[in-house]
Amino acid sequence: MSEKDTVLEIIDLHAGYDDVQVLWGVNLKVKRHTLTTIIGANGAGKTTTLKAICGLLKNVTGKVVLNGEDISRIPTHERVDKGLVMVPEGRWLFPEMTVLENLRMGAYPKHARDKREETLEWVYTLFPRLKERANQKAGTLSGGEQQMVAIGRGLMSRPEVLILDEPSLGLAPNLVLDIFKIIQELKEEGLTVLLVEQNVHLGLAISDYAYVMEHGKIVMEGTGQELENDPKVKEAYLGI
Ligand SMILES: Nc1ncnc2c1ncn2[C@@H]1O[C@H](COP(=O)(O)OP(=O)(O)OP(=O)(O)O)[C@@H](O)[C@H]1O
Ligand SMILES: [Mg+2]
């Protein structure tokens, strides 16, 4: 089997908030057309890692390399233009705007604007529910539907790497499964996905590769299956 190439590489990332350092030299790689997951306890630094990758934090040191290009010094919107898109934890929709308006907001990068209506049809194919609810205010949707809008809005910007922070948070079990199915489908459609997930069992089950983060460092890595079978992971994260 040929080795898949690396689309996103994080090298020796240090970051934090004001005078609190959270990340202490994070290294990770995301291969093209794969699903890579970061797992770890509350407060381990997973969201901080994603924010640093997207350029949302000050005083970050280390490198973020996308398709061989060092993007560490460019602002967030330029990283989005280059295909790096995050769907943040907590969804951040515009509740007074309709589903359709929220989705269209996602198509702001230059390369996404021209393909907006075509991408919208693709998003509606993935989430038929959103087509039915197109003219409903986003704030009146259920939690699961809102998560679909958040992912759909991310897709509207035509990402190459889609970053998802806890997409299953707060959803009922059947909706969690729906969201995981969609994430897998996105990978099958050629997207590269970097996922942070509380649901360690399902997260590892759909991952090609995964990293375990503790206290702002990567402490273990392997294929989803390797980590699922690892005694330390089982004890600490799977409750077995
Ligand atoms: N805006 C902030 N200002 C100050 N400290 C913060 C801020 N956001 C997070 N932290 C701190 O940084 C550390 C890592 O937080 P982070 O949100 O990255 O963890 P996480 O792994 O995503 O956890 P969770 O699983 O709970 O989402 C925590 O100690 C947290 O209290
Ligand atoms: Mg988090």
CATH classification of the domain holding 213: 3.40.50.300
Residue 26 lies in a domain: yes
Indicate the number of domains in the chain: 1
In this structure, the residues whose C-beta lies within 6 A of any atom of ligand 1 are: 17, 20, 22, 40, 42-48
pLDDT in tens, 51-88: 999 999 998 999 999 999 999 999 999 999 999 999 99
Residue 228 lies in a domain: yes
Residue 99 lies in a domain: no
> Contact at 8 Å (CB) between 99 and 105?
no
Task: Please give the number of the atom of ligand 1 that sits closest to the Cα of 41.
Answer: 25
Residue 61 lies in a domain: yes
Residue 125 lies in a domain: no
State which of 13, 17, 237 you would mutate to test the pocket of ligand 1, scoring each by most atoms of that ligand within 8 A of its C-beta.
17
Residue 27 lies in a domain: yes
Residue 104 lies in a domain: no
Residue 65 lies in a domain: yes
Those residues of the chain that have pLDDT short of 50 are 1-2
pLDDT at 60: 96
| Sequence-separated (6 or more) residues with CB below 8 Å from residue 71 | 55, 64, 65, 78, 79, 82, 84
pLDDT at 1: 42
pLDDT at 3: 55
pLDDT at 121: 97
The whole domain housing 7 covers: 1-80+192-240
